[in-house]
């Protein structure tokens, strides 16, 4: 085992159904089976917060909102391209 990774269970109340967690889909250590999980991260930019803050300092709410929205949409789009 390389590391321990903690995950939340689904938070929605479901009567008669299990609340799943990512760890439920990884083989237990005692099973003797080698199992793996993978992860990836995407971003819409590394400096978008600083740019949005600069627009806010100039009282330019429109561009502040647009920078945040575009960065968010780019991150979502990159997730779908990777899948």
pLDDT at 83 over 70: no
> CA-to-CA distance for 59 and 3, rounded, in angstroms?
46
| Buried-state track 22-37, b at ≥16 Cβ within 10 A, e below 16 | eeeeeeeeeeeeeeee
Q: What is the pLDDT of residues 21-50, one digit of tens each?
A: 988 888 888 998 988 888 778 888 889 999
Tokens found for residue 8:
């939340």
> CA-to-CA distance for 60 and 63, rounded, in angstroms?
6
Confidence of residue 78 (pLDDT cuts 50, 70, 90): confident
Confidence of residue 1 (pLDDT cuts 50, 70, 90): low
Tokens found for residue 59:
């009282």
Higher pLDDT, 49 or 83: 49
């Amino acid at each position: 085992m390389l590391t321990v990774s903690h995950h939340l269970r689904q938070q929605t109340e479901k009567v008669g159904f299990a609340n799943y967690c990512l760890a439920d889909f990884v083989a237990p250590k005692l099973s003797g089976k080698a199992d793996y999980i993978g992860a990836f991260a995407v971003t819409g930019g590394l400096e978008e917060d600083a740019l949005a803050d600069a627009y806010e300092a100039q009282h330019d709410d429109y561009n502040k909102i647009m920078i945040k929205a575009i960065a968010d949409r780019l991150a979502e789009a990159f997730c779908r391209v990777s899948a």
